[in-house]
């Protein structure tokens, strides 16, 4: 059985259930994005920065409404499909709105409203790195970059959904060798059996995963030894792709304002560009924090599950006086120094 078939088998859904789940996920994406698109429609006088927290609240409210609605229709949306459809939506808005409109702008279409405003805008664009002498056409470098990033994200999403995170089968030979009654006891006393070192149980899917970090709801799979590097690459890719999309959409909106065509622009297209830009900024804000946390864990060779539940694992517990009831302190036995930890992450044993 192929890795993709194995990944689909773990979902335990019939084809009809998968189809309804895909439709529910697509509907939730459209509903949440349309809800965010109403923010610039209802608050046109606000700046984009002021729209950001409102858009965040509206997006969360739309997700909550979508979760409540599934109780009525009896179909649950799929988080990986929600991620997939959001990638396709951002890519579609860029290809069919931003790039097409920018490519059709004639060289004399952009007329500055005032000379001072034009100079201020050019100065701001130089500071942000968005002005490279191509005033009238979308940068071919950005165009190639965002298309390549979206394609790579789709490929990476397929790989992480169809791959093995490092699941360890509950073999009775482990129990006999460790002298334990069940598999969980063998894991917690892994000093008796080094082959089970850092094997943890996922509370969500009940799988035993080597070097288990966490269960990722967005990708619908555990993050372990075999897919942790791919997870980091995907997380970095999302930050870069959404930042690139924000740059392109900002350039699109700025050009519409400078050319004086902002009022004649199709309101649906303009609101979709603004809403997807706000969505991308919100995504980047929490993804950067999440990425920094995982970089910290890699540098100190600690997993998210181990950091949260270290009192469950004896190897992380240290007493000042072993024979007494003194306070238990945290000790990371896997920390070998930053360089060694990074090397071990890149080339696990």
Q: Which residue has the higher pLDDT, 192 or 318?
A: 318
- 346: pLDDT confidence band, cut at 50, 70 and 90? very high
For helices 228-259 and 338-346, angle between their N-to-C axes, nearest 10 degrees? 90
Residues 61, 53: Cα–Cα separation, whole Å: 12
Q: What's the pLDDT tens digit per position in 67-82?
A: 777 777 777 778 899 9
Q: What percent of the chain has pLDDT over 90?
A: 36
As separate numbers, helices (DSSP H) first and strands (DSSP E) second, the chain gives 13, 6
Strand partners, 318: 329
Decide if 306 contacts 313 (C-beta within 8 A). Answer: yes
How large a percentage of the chain has pLDDT more than 70? 73
**Contacts of residue 111, Cβ cutoff 8 Å, sequence gap at least 6:** 258, 259, 260
**CB-based contacts of 321: which residues, under 8 Å, 6+ apart?**
none
pLDDT in tens, 97-108: 888 765 555 544
Helix (H) or strand (E) holding 199: strand 199-201
Tens digits of residue pLDDT in 23-33? 888 988 998 99
Report the DSSP beta bridge partners of residue 210: 199
Q: Residue range 51-69: average pLDDT? A: 86
At residue 2, does pLDDT exceed 50?
Answer: no
pLDDT tens digit sequence for 119-159: 555 554 554 444 444 444 446 777 888 999 999 999 999 99
Contact 239, 287 (CB under 8 A): yes
CA 322 to chain centre: 43
**What separation, in Å, do the N-terminal and C-terminal C-alpha atoms of the chain show?**
26
CA 261 vs CA 69, 227, 234, 301, 318: distances in Å: 39, 47, 37, 54, 67
Dihedral sign, CA of 154, 156, 157, 159?
Answer: positive
Query: What is the number of other CB atoms lying within 10 angstroms of the CB of residue 81?
Result: 21
């Amino acid at each position: 059985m192929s890795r993709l078939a194995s990944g689909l088998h773990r979902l335990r859904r019939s084809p009809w259930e998968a189809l309804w789940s895909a439709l529910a996920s697509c509907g939730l994406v459209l509903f949440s994005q349309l809800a965010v698109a109403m923010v610039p429609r209802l608050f046109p006088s606000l700046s984009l920065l002021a729209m950001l927290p409102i858009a965040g609240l509206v997006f969360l409210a739309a997700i909550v409404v979508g979760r409540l609605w599934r109780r009525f229709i009896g179909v649950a949306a799929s988080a990986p499909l929600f991620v997939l459809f959001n990638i396709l939506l951002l890519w579609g808005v860029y290809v069919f709105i931003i790039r097409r409109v920018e490519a059709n702008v004639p060289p004399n279409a952009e007329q500055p409203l005032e000379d001072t405003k034009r100079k201020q805008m050019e100065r701001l664009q130089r500071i942000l790195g968005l002005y490279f002498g191509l005033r009238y056409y979308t940068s071919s470098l950005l165009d190639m970059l965002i298309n390549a990033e979206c394609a790579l994200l789709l490929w990476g999403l397929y790989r992480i959904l169809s791959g093995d995170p490092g699941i360890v089968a509950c073999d009775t030979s482990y129990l006999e060798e460790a002298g334990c009654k069940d598999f969980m006891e063998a894991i917690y006393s892994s000093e008796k059996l080094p082959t089970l070192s850092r094997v943890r149980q996922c509370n969500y899917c009940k799988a035993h995963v080597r070097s288990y970090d966490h269960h990722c709801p967005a990708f619908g799979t555990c993050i372990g030894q075999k897919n942790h590097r791919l997870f980091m690459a995907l997380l970095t890719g999302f930050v870069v792709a959404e930042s690139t999309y924000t740059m392109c959409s900002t350039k699109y909106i700025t050009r519409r304002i400078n050319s004086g065509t902002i009022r004649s622009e199709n309101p649906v297209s303009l609101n979709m560009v603004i809403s997807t830009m706000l969505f991308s900024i919100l995504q980047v804000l929490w993804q950067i924090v999440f990425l920094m946390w995982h970089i910290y864990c890699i540098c100190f060779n600690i997993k998210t599950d181990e950091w949260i539940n270290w009192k469950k694992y004896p190897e992380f517990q240290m007493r000042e006086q072993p024979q007494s009831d003194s306070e238990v302190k945290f000790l990371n036995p896997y920390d070998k120094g930053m360089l060694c930890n990074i090397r071990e992450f890149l080339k696990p044993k």
